[in-house]
Amino acid sequence: MTSGPGMKIWLRYNLRSMPGAAATRDICQVALEQAAWADRLGFDSVALGEHHGAPDGFDPSPLVFGAALAARTAKLRIHVNALLLPLHDPVRIAEDAAMLDNISGGRLDLTLGIGYVPDELAMFGVAKEERARVMDEKLAVLRRALAGERFEYRGRPVYVTPRPVQQPGPPLFSGGAVLASALRAARAGDGFCPQVPLPELIDAYRQECAALGKAPGPVIDVGGPFNILVSEDPEATWARYGPYALHEMRSYSRWAGQGGARSPFSHVETVEQLRSTGVYQVLTPEQCLALARSQREANRMLTFHPLTAGMPFELSWASLELFAAKVLPLL
């Protein structure tokens, strides 16, 4: 059963765990089981983020985890969103991406981000004011390497094998939340993934594509809740789930504040304040169905982040299974 035209159903995993919650190794195993389950039901993509040095264990190696997910699934696309390219050697990333594309049989998508957390940039020796230049340089190298070209990069010979299954390489989306990211997507990307769904960014991307004489690629519209839980008793579920969502919301908001980045995550002090933002939602099956239909009409995705901050596994599974039983058949 698939989600139908106009809407995609995504899973999202970042492996972070708040103090006292599940261990990373256990979150990894449950995420693999859930991805295999979602693959059988016809979910479309699984999104994996990247951050470094996070006290709560945010995944620093999405290509590694993506390979594990690819081995447990057959159709689910593996979308690294976002890989922070300025922090890495683009030749090494090309090799890892080519291998993951082969392991998955051609199911890899890459959204490339510039990075914004000061501690992460410092950890990899990237000056904030140099990020854009480094990003442009490395994106060009990555594209050439994935396409199988022989060339020199900083005086070194480059030739990446094996070739990826997708030719000339996996789709490369440019991510970001500012005008420069939209223009970069038009200039050098296969599509655009605005991290904040601002219409002016999407318009700027399409206008720049037209100015360059190229057809615009797909735009991944992330508008809508960051995570949905489905429950017959939302208040009871919020009582258990709230602290995990609050931890994640505050963590993302803190990073955005440190890096001066646009973000859908705002600073909140309480679960009640978090609920009022709509970023995290607990819905009855009927409410979830209504949301899914509205997302489909808007050509947006429906996102499940079912292991938020190491939340209880049985609560996570209960939400997914209720969605499968009472919502998905009606889509």
Angle (CA) 60 320 252, round 5° = 35
How many helices (H) and strands (E) are present in the chain, helices listed first? 11, 11
For residue 48, give its domain range.
9-222+298-314
pLDDT tens digits, 248-303: 999 999 999 999 999 999 999 999 999 999 999 999 999 999 999 999 999 999 99
Using omega within 30 degrees of 0 as the cis cutoff, is the peptide bond preceding 216 cis? no
Q: What percent of the chain has pLDDT over 90?
A: 96
Residue 2 above 80 pLDDT? no
Token pair in block for residue 102: 């082969």
Q: How confident is the model at residue 7 (pLDDT cuts 50, 70, 90)?
A: confident
Question: pLDDT at position 3, please?
Answer: 44
Residue 20 lies in a domain: yes
What CATH number corresponds to the domain at position 144?
3.20.20.30
Q: How many domains does the chain have?
A: 1
Residue 191 lies in a domain: yes
Residue 247 lies in a domain: no
pLDDT tens digits, 150-161: 999 999 999 999
Residue 231 lies in a domain: no
pLDDT tens digits, 130-141: 999 999 999 999
Q: How distant, in Å, are the alpha carbons of 141, 199, 280, 326 from that of 261?
A: 26, 17, 20, 38
pTM for this one? Answer: 0.96
Q: Which residue, 316, 225, 241, is CA-closest to 10?
A: 225
Residue 134 lies in a domain: yes
Residue 4 lies in a domain: no
Question: pLDDT at position 6, please?
Answer: 61
Phi and psi at residue 305, in whole multiples of 5°? -115, 75
Q: What is the DSSP string of 86-110?
A: GGS-HHHHHHHHHHHHHHTTS-EEE
